[in-house]
Amino acid sequence: MNTLVNWANPYANRKGTWMRGNLHTHTSPASGCGRVSLEETLEMYTREGYDFLSITDHWVLTEASHNKMVLIPGIEWNTPDGGGHTNMIACDGSILLPHLQTRCQQELLDDLWAKGALTTLNHPDWQLRPHYRREELEALSNFDGIEIYNGACQGAHGSPLSTDKWDYLLTKGKRVLGFAADDFHDPGHLAQGWIVARVEERTPESVMAAVKSGNFYSSSGVELTDIRREGNVITVESINGEEIQVIADHGIVCRKIRDRAVSVDVSGWNTKYVRFAIYGYGSEMAWTQPFFLE
């Protein structure tokens, strides 16, 4: 379990400002699947108003710098048979390089966990290999979270949404964070899914600290203004949400509120956790991290 996360209230630290970023990005020619150069990719994300970005090319550490966005080194790793896609991200990219020789996913996760890197298990509902059955996810340990929304999967085999597998893991007692990402390969993938973290300073270290501690929400279009827990009352506020769902163990929807904001008193709730899904216009959504009640 990630001890950096206050699982009763991931949003307890209210210092800093909300910053938007993408942690799953491919470029050309470093990733054979990438269709946009590094320079063009950085320019596109700058125009969209992003604050931070991780370039996670396949099996290579892409060196990059930018005068506006915070850049955090990353690599996307997979098993020799093409499964187990994993993002490994760290402020010091050199700690990632030895793992280009690693072939066992659990060995990879264990070592990076000990080094304080960020690891996410990618696109669990991509229906071509690599995809994860829920039992495969459950069997793994020492990872920060899974992609609950992968923008590139909208036009690929499978589903971009993996919240069902997230709820499966949370119900089993696996305390893992939920990430949204573009999985950017071409211009059509831009700004499909992202995270918004409460960051104290505009540095890679501060962004990583916020993300590793779970002080962020994921989005495909809905903007939240506040998430807070005061005693047993959890409040979620948005700019453009139209319906808020309160979700607990097994993905059960406990309440639906047609409003931009909600405050819920969870006193006496007999559930392991609650999380919030906020629906906006069309298919736009946002997702909070889980609040564990145990």
DSSP states of 234-275: EEEEESS--EEEEEEGGGEEEEEE-SSEEEEE-TT--SSEEE
Specify the number of domains making up the chain: 2
**Torsion angles phi and psi, residue 164, rounded to 5:** -65, -40
Question: Band of the pLDDT at 81, cuts 50, 70, 90?
Answer: confident
Amino acid at 272: K
* Residue position matching structure tokens 């955090």: 72
Give CA separation, 98 vs 77, 93, 101, 195, 272, in Å. 12, 10, 6, 28, 38
| Domain around 64 | 1-219
CATH number of domain containing 181: 3.20.20.140
> What is the predicted pLDDT for the residue at 11?
98
Tens digits of residue pLDDT in 175-227? 999 999 999 999 999 999 999 999 999 999 999 999 999 999 999 999 999 99
Question: Band of the pLDDT at 1, cuts 50, 70, 90?
Answer: low
Tens digits of residue pLDDT in 104-133? 999 999 999 999 999 999 999 988 765 799
Tens digits of residue pLDDT in 138-153? 999 999 999 999 999 9
Tens digits of residue pLDDT in 233-289? 999 999 999 999 999 999 999 999 999 999 999 999 999 999 999 999 999 999 999
Average pLDDT along the chain: 96
CATH number of domain containing 289: 2.60.40.3080
Same domain, 190 and 49: yes
Please determine, for residue 36, whether its predicted confidence score (pLDDT) is greater than 70: yes
Same domain, 27 and 168: yes
Same domain, 108 and 4: yes
Of 168, 197, 219, the residue at which a domain comes to its end is: 219
Same domain, 138 and 238: no
Nearest to 275 by CA among 258, 287, 259: 287
> What is the predicted pLDDT for the residue at 130?
59
> What is the predicted pLDDT for the residue at 3?
79
52 membership: H or E segment, kind and range: strand 52-53
**Arithmetic mean of pLDDT, 49-71:** 96
Same domain, 262 and 198: no
